Amino acid sequence: MRKKMFRGKKYFIEALWEGLLKISGSVTSIIIILIVLFLFSEGMGIFKKKVVEDGYVIAVNKNNPVKDLSPEQIKNIFDVKIVSWKELGVNINEDEISLLRLDDIPNYFPEDQIAEDMSNLPQIISQILKEHPGMIAFIPEDFAKKGFSEKVLDLGNINLKEFFGGKEWFPTAQPAPQFGVIPIVMGTLWVSLGAILIALPFGIAVSIYSAELASKKVHKILKPVIELLAGIPSVVYGFFGLIVIVPLIQKVFNLDVGETGLAGSIVLAIMALPTIITIAEDALRSTPRAMKEASLALGANKWQTILKVTIPYSISGITAGVVLGIGRAIGETMAVLMVTGNAAVIPHTLLEPVRTIPATIAAELGEAPKGGAHYEALFVLGCILFIITLIINLVVEYISSKNKNKVA
């Protein structure tokens, strides 16, 4: 009787633990899915935002034939880089472009004729635009309604082409913020690729040495040192890069500044090494001793055994270490922010200042008004980073599965 009660209690405890584990796994999966959905739902709102700064419009003379302007064209007009309508393919009598903002109105109209409540500003702005056919005005949306008789340009919303094909990231530009993600994505890929190329050979080499060649005495010293490197905060790596690596790069390559993509790649490679080494070493040590001894017994030397038996058998674990190392390199924020120059320009070499996606989000999220275009654009950057990481994981998993099949 007691045995039955004991067995029943044991089965009940096992079933309870099994249920708790299932619930824990389900809750974790649901939370991850909700986080991803939240990320995408917040980001997609940017494509409902207008090209021009919220609450403002672009207006011209009603006889001006211009119908549409891109965000880049608007920025260049107000930065006085485009000074004539012919450059935009528009032919009007007054070819030179003149600008009108609210602060400029007293230059065209006596201040004493402007009512204190500014109720007659729509009529005043209309009159100024009538008298200057080549003028383009950036005015509050409320002033372009009742009493306003000129032409308001319907510039539409930010679209996919302008966002993903844009070459300039300037979210605080007026009157049209620039949300071109190409410089940010290119900077992320350049720095991450450089970090992978540096960390991968060193990481695998050290893991092979530690697992197969190092003596027990050396391994006891090497293992804690590598694990200690994994626990160092990223800001410390950033300080090290800023004080040591940046001046060294500036001196060696004779650059004006040392804050470059190469500095970011070296710092990220150092940060990724402990992860790659630790996981790859554990995978190499999991190779059955019988397989190694069989290889040696057949006449293979130690290096041939490592290359032909140990590495192919443990390739899955090595791949996992590489993926985690790459994930840290792509998602790192503070260290990259400190050593890469934080310049949102399209890089052509690793010897130029760059800006990465995580650094952009960290630097700008606190300044972006919640719910605004800038805020939502940063969430889209987060979505892009998620997709890049997912693609890398899928590619590495595919390569790993092919290697498993070859070994089998």
Distance separating alpha carbons of residues 51 and 57, to the nearest angstrom = 9
56 Cβ contact list (under 8 Å, min separation 6): 138, 139, 140, 141, 175
If you write DSSP's letter for every residue of 130-187 in order, what string do you get? HH-TTEEEEEEGGGGSTT--SEEP---B--HHHHHH---EETT-SSS-EE--HHHHHH
282: left (phi over 0), alpha (psi -120 to 50) or beta: alpha
**pTM of the entire structure?**
0.83
Retrieve residue 303's tokens. 């290096």
pLDDT of residue 186: 92
**pLDDT mean over 127-133:** 89
H-run or E-run covering 59: strand 56-60
DSSP state of 365: T
Which residue did the predictor score with more confidence, 265 or 219?
265
Other Cβ atoms within 10 Å of 275 Cβ, number: 24
**Poorest-pLDDT segment among 88-97, 125-134, 392-401:** 392-401
Other Cβ atoms within 10 Å of 327 Cβ, number: 16
- Residue type for position 309: V
Instruction: Give the pLDDT confidence of 253-267 residue by residue, as tens digits.
Output: 998 888 999 999 999
Distance separating alpha carbons of residues 64 and 318, to the nearest angstrom = 65
**pLDDT mean over 387-393:** 81
Please answer whether residues 300 and 226 qualify as being in contact, where contact means their C-beta atoms are separated by less than 8 angstroms.
Answer: no
- Is residue 392 over pLDDT 80? no
Distance separating alpha carbons of residues 390 and 39, to the nearest angstrom = 15
**pLDDT mean over 88-94:** 82
Distance separating alpha carbons of residues 182 and 166, to the nearest angstrom = 6
Which residue did the predictor score with more confidence, 237 or 402?
237
Instruction: Give the pLDDT confidence of 14-42 residue by residue, as tens digits.
Output: 777 777 878 877 888 888 888 888 888 88
- Is residue 9 over pLDDT 90? no
Which fold, 56-156?
D-Maltodextrin-Binding Protein; domain 2 (3.40.190)
Alpha helices by DSSP H, 151-252: 160-165, 182-208, 216-230, 234-240, 246-252
388 Cβ contact list (under 8 Å, min separation 6): 185, 188, 189, 330
**pLDDT mean over 193-217:** 87
- Is residue 6 over pLDDT 60? no
Which fold, 182-407?
MetI-like fold (1.10.3720)
Alpha helices by DSSP H, 47-159: 71-78, 121-131
In order of 112, 113, 310, 313, 404, the CA distances from 117 in angstroms are: 12, 12, 82, 80, 76
DSSP state of 92: -
Residue 172: pLDDT band (50, 70, 90) is: confident
Of 27, 59, 256, which Cα lies nearest the Cα of 140? 59
- Is residue 117 over pLDDT 70? no
Residue 248: pLDDT band (50, 70, 90) is: very high
Of 145, 291, 306, which Cα lies nearest the Cα of 214? 306
- Is residue 244 over pLDDT 90? yes
CA 72 and chain centroid, separation? 22
pLDDT of residue 120: 80
Distance separating alpha carbons of residues 142 and 59, to the nearest angstrom = 12
H-run or E-run covering 133: none
**Poorest-pLDDT segment among 11-15, 134-138, 256-260, 297-301:** 11-15
312 Cβ contact list (under 8 Å, min separation 6): 403, 406, 407
Which residue did the predictor score with more confidence, 396 or 90?
90
